[in-house]
Amino acid sequence: MAATLKTRRIANLMRSQPSQDGDGVKIQRIHEFGGGLDPFLMLDELGSDSPDDYIGGFPPHPHRGIQTLTYILHGGLTHEDHLDHVSTIRAGDAQWMHTGRGIVHSEMPLTDSQGLHGFQLWLNLAARDKLSPATYRDIRGDEMPHLQGDRAELIALGGHWQNEGGDTVEGPLDALAGKGAVGHARLAAGGTLNLIMADETLAVYVFEGELMIDGQAVEAGQLARLGEGQRLTLHSQDGAQCLILAGTPHREPIVHYGPFVMNHPREIEQALADYRNGTFTAT
């Protein structure tokens, strides 16, 4: 059966751009609020060995209409929100936030001997879920299953994963918007990872080394959006790491204003009014 599968090729490449957020935190950002990566909206990479680049963190701020997934490789973040969730994640851990109608939270950075390195991903909520109750969950690294390749492995944060040999794993984050799947792939020198992936939206963000996807190179800091097919083949000559994002598009209008992502401008205006008058997080 495997011989009949179509290998997915790169449809386009996007390069992350320097930006900053919160209290001057320096990040590398890829954003696509036009629906090109639906249901994914934005990917921030936080990475520095200089505390001045991130120590201000992200003081209290609101969100509505999205989910966020934060994943830490080095250092850590302490999360607090208006629902009285207080949690610290460190290297290998992740936190997931379903903002729904509204959440006010802060994220303050921690450091280790290698500084701070992590990611935050925004996923768009379907219209029917944008005013749902807010929830939060953290996941420890030892809860995340691994899927093996040839001198390569995938760490499953959420969603369903299958390698070409038929082995499967389920990531612990099972409620990602758009039937989302998020994984962290690590390839040693000469490593290859073959995955069976028919998800309509599929993207690979390389953050270390260089990957070959169906013979085309993807460098660190680039995100490759993949075309149609059922097989994803990753190979690295000298070793590489990447995030893999997969999901099903909502195909709904996207209107974005700061921390709010809704379907219509009037809903953004309502979010701003709710935040001003103190009813933003009311159920």
pLDDT along the chain (283 residues), means of 10: 81 94 81 97 86 72 96 93 91 97 91 86 98 96 97 98 96 98 98 97 98 96 98 98 98 97 98 91 71
CA-wise closest residue to 66 among 44, 84, 88, 89: 44
Note whether residue 27 is domain-resident.
Answer: yes
First to last CA, the chain: 50
Q: How buried is 258 (Cβ within 10 angstroms: 0-12 exposed, 13-18 middle, 19+ buried)?
A: exposed
pLDDT value at position 2? 46
What CATH number is given to the structural domain containing 38? 2.60.120.10
What 3-state class would DSSP assign to 96? strand
Q: Is residue 122 part of a domain?
A: yes
Other Cβ atoms closer than 10 A to 263: 18
**pLDDT at site 47:** 82
- Whether residue 264 lies inside any domain: the answer is no
Query: Does residue 274 lie within any of the structural domains?
Result: no
pLDDT at 280: 86
The range of the structural domain enclosing residue 109 comes to: 2-247
Q: What share of the chain is helix, strand, coil (3-state, %, to 5)?
A: 10, 60, 30
The H helix count followed by the E strand count for the chain is 1, 23
Q: Evaluate whether residue 141 is within a structural domain.
A: yes
Query: Left (φ > 0), alpha (ψ -120 to 50) or beta: where does 178 sit?
Result: left
In a domain, 119, yes or no: yes
Is the CB of residue 127 less than 8 Å from the CB of residue 155?
A: no
**What is this structure's pTM?**
0.95
**Domain count of the fold of the chain:** 1
